[in-house]
A and B are shown apart, each in its own frame.
Chain A
Amino acid sequence: MIEGQAWKYGDDVNTDVIFPGKYTYQPLEPAEMAEHAMEDLDASFAREVKEGDVIVGGYNFGCGSSREQAATCLKAAGIAAVIAKSFSRIFFRNAINNGLPVIELEDGVDQIAKGDAISIDFEAGKVTHKGNTYHFPALPKEVLAILNDGGLIPHVRKALGKE
């Protein structure tokens, strides 16, 4: 169960604006990546984001470069989940692999505005906003297993008996 405030963006939010290319080949820790999160889209984001906030986007969220820092930086910035009408496939995978929940939802997304309170119940597969409830389908079990283990690396360590 997550309760957080929404950061609202539009369609085709690409990974270049989520995490600029100029930092992608620099060896940064997640906390340093978080300082550049959304830098070229919304300069206020990195300053004002709070632990547990939720990003709400339109269609094709995370399109463009495969850079995984786009998922890592959001997670490190405190984002608890990303809700979008659709996701680019590589961002979707990267988010799961970083233990960042992604929710594909079309209904109700247009009604959500910046700063609105949202709650997400993963078990029940529902998002609640201003008293309205919207349902989202469960992730495939292979994908859910990775998310539940906290990301791909812990998941694989567990599978290999390294934990």
Chain B
Amino acid sequence: MGMTFAQKVLAAKAGLESVAVGQIVEIEPDYCLSHDNTAAISKTFNKIGVERVKYPERFVIVLDHTVPASIEKYALGHKEIREFVCEQGIANFYDAGVGICHQVLPEKGFALPGKLILGSDSHTTTYGAFGAFSAGVGRSEMAVLYATGKIWLKTPASFKIVVSGQLEQPITSKDLILKIIGDIGADGALYRSIEFTGRAIEEMSLSSRMVLSNMAIECGAKNGYIAPDKKTATFLEGRAVHEYTPVYPDPDARYEKVLEFDATTLDPQVAKPHAVDNVSPIEEVAGTKIDQALIGTCTNGRLEDLRLAAKILSGNKVAHGVRLLILPASQEILLGALREGLIETFVEAGALMLNPGCGPCLGAHQGVLAPGEVCLSTANRNFRGRMGSRDAEIYLASPATVAASAITGVITDPRAEFVGGAK
């Protein structure tokens, strides 16, 4: 019988002909990611009693969550990480400012088709957009990976999500994934490997595909695979750190569920507080007053997101009483945005530019919310307390919706007034 993508990768990594759903295998991942949590992980690693990281070349460390350090404790953590990578000879180290890990790994050529990548961060699923099997693990597991290079994984069952039709601006893949999560629920794909397929996915840019894989974890998925194609190969040209062989599911693979969506009929979607699956079409929340708008994060901080936002913001001003924070996901994106004049558009509109990094996304660093405040964000989570006060409210939407809403000061349908950037 045929195998799904997840079965094929896990079987290959375990050196087996085939693996069954539920089978536990011991494997060595190709690459492993950790970020600011490396300070804590290195301490756990020291407790294991092994002197050296076993395969330093397999580890990628990116400082992104609290950069540049805003308090002394963070600064100390970063210093410890710099010392650790130096001591252990970990060459794949990207210091503060290079970007958010889930953007940096693809840009630096680690997110490769057919590879198995684990990260001590739940949004490690992002690399599924490049045809990798990638999943999050905990800190202790990462410490053990430093020491032994090995880990156990259970073979997940798979869902196929088929998206027909085509997305049209200002509707984006963010609206699509919010719709999917809203429909199937926060545990709708719990422990499953999702394979996204269909015409809408094929037509999408890699950046748009990354949004789907990034948020696959928000419906519980272990992995969010998209078949690599020409676009993938073109992006990886000159970036890939290693040779790779794409892995495709067998045509007769067995799926636990096949779900169908149509991109053509999609309205802008918004996730309401305090759950990612609390999703409505925009008309149900339009008019909700906002205090802060955020464009960025590993979900929607890429160049196409900034272009779309700039198109809407061009010639407009951010509403009085609203803070619009914009963070490009990486230095490469920041440079692209500068060259295209997008940053000028943002600053002219009254936006506050932040440096590449996670910024306000997890409430540990900057741009936090006061009690009673409302934020509309392009991030992937709106849990209570996530961005500061437990009494603040976070809504999630696409960059187009956030940009349009920043101008009006209330949640606004981006189709209404701003399509095409004619203003």
Interface, chain A (partner B; CB < 8 A): 11-12, 14, 16-17, 20-22, 24-27, 39-41, 59-60, 63-66, 68, 71, 86, 88-90, 93-94, 97-98, 140, 142, 151-153, 156-157, 160, 162
A65, B47: Cβ atoms closer than 8 Å? no
CB distance from A61 to the nearest CB of B (A): 10
Assess whether A93 is in contact with B187, with CB atoms less than 8 Å apart.
no
In the complex where A21-B363, A156-B147 touch, is A90 in contact with B122 (Cβ < 8 A)? yes
Contact with A along B23-65 (1 / 0, CB 8 A): 0100000000000110110001001111000000000000001
Q: Which of B93-101, B137-145, B310-318, B404-412 contacts A (4 or more CB under 8 A)?
A: B137-145
With CB as the reference atom, state the residue of chain A lying closest to B136.
Answer: A66
Given A89-B191, A152-B144, A153-B48: A66 in contact with B364 (beta carbons within 8 A): no
**Given A89-B220, A153-B44, residue A25 in contact with residue B141 (CB < 8 A):** no
CA distance A17 to B36 in the complex (A): 20
When the two chains form their complex, are residues B77 and A25 in contact, meaning their CB atoms are under 8 A apart?
yes
Name A's interface SS.
loop
Q: Scan residues 200-241 of chain B and give those whose CB is less than 8 A from a CB of chain A.
A: 220, 222
- Some 6 contacts from A to B, beta carbons below 8 A apart, are A25-B36, A89-B190, A140-B24, A140-B154, A153-B47, A153-B144
Q: Is the CB of B187 within 8 A of A66?
A: no
B interface residues (Cβ-Cβ under 8 A, vs A): 24, 36-37, 39-40, 44, 47-50, 65-66, 73-74, 76-77, 120-122, 135-141, 143-144, 147-148, 152, 154, 186-187, 190-191, 220, 222, 275, 277, 362-364, 368, 381, 383-386, 388, 390
Q: How far is the CA of A70 from the CA of B390 in the complex (A)?
A: 17
A residues in contact with B368, CB < 8 Å: 22
Q: Does the CB pair A65–B220 fall under 8 Å? A: no
- Residues A156 and B364 in contact, CB atoms below 8 Å apart: no
Whether B220 lies near A60 (C-beta < 8 A) is yes
- Judge whether B364 and A21 touch: CB under 8 Å: yes
Q: How far is the CA of A40 from the CA of B47 in the complex (A)?
A: 31
CB distance from A43 to the nearest CB of B (A): 9
The 8 Å CB contact of B152, one of A40, A68, A71, A142, is: A142
B61: shortest Cβ distance to chain A, in Å? 14
Known A-B contacts A16-B385, A86-B190, A140-B24; the reply to A65 vs B362 at CB < 8 A is yes
Bound state CA distance, A90 and B137, in angstroms? 6
B73–A27 CB distance below 8 A:
yes
Given pairs A16-B381, A68-B139, A88-B190, 9 additional interface contacts (CB within 8 A)? A16-B362, A20-B385, A22-B363, A25-B66, A25-B77, A66-B121, A66-B137, A89-B190, A157-B48
Q: Which residues of A contact B74 (CB under 8 A)?
A: 25
CA distance A154 to B47 in the complex (A): 9
B27: min CB distance to chain A, Å: 13
The residue on B at minimum CB distance from A24 is B364
**Residue pair A17, B73 in contact (C-beta under 8 Å):** no
Whether A93 contacts B77 by the Cβ 8 Å rule is no
B73 and A26 form a contact (CB under 8 A): yes
The residue from B36, B186, B381, B383 contacting A60, defined by CB atoms under 8 A apart? B186
Which residue on chain A has the smallest CB distance to residue B71?
A26
B222–A89 CB distance below 8 A:
yes
User: Which of these, B36, B143, B390, contacts A40 with CB under 8 Å?
Assistant: B390
- Taking CB atoms, residues of chain B closer than 8 Å to A11 are 186-187
Bound-state CA distance A97–B41 (Å) is 14
| CB atoms of B138 and A66 under 8 A apart | yes
Question: Which of these, A25, A94, A142, A151, contacts B364 with CB under 8 Å?
Answer: A25
**Chain A residues, Cβ within 8 Å of B390:** 39-40
Question: Do A94 and B140 contact each other (CB < 8 Å), given the known contacts A14-B383, A89-B190, A162-B49?
Answer: yes
Across the interface, do A17 and B364 meet the contact criterion of CB distance under 8 Å?
A: no
Q: Are A27 and B40 in contact (CB under 8 A)?
A: yes
CB neighbours of B47 from chain A (8 A): 153, 157
Known contacts A25-B36, A153-B47, A160-B50; is-contact A16 B220 (Cβ 8 Å): no
What residue in chain B is nearest A140 (Cβ atoms)?
Answer: B24
Cβ–Cβ contact B137 & A93, under 8 A: yes
Q: Once the chains bind, are A40 and B384 in contact (CB under 8 Å)?
A: yes
Distance (whole angstroms) from the CB of A97 to the closest CB of chain B: 5
Question: A151 CA to B144 CA in the complex, in Å?
Answer: 12
Query: In this complex, what residue of A is CB-closest to B80?
Result: A27
List residues of chain A with CB within 8 A of the CB of B277: 12
Whole-angstrom distance between the Cβ of B164 and the nearest chain A Cβ: 29
Say yes or no: A63 contacts B385, CB within 8 Å: no
User: Would B140 and A98 count as touching, CB distance under 8 A?
Assistant: yes
Q: Which residues of chain B have C-beta atoms less than 8 A from A66's C-beta?
A: 120-122, 136-138
* B-chain residues with CB within 8 Å of residue A152 when the two chains form the complex: 140-141, 144
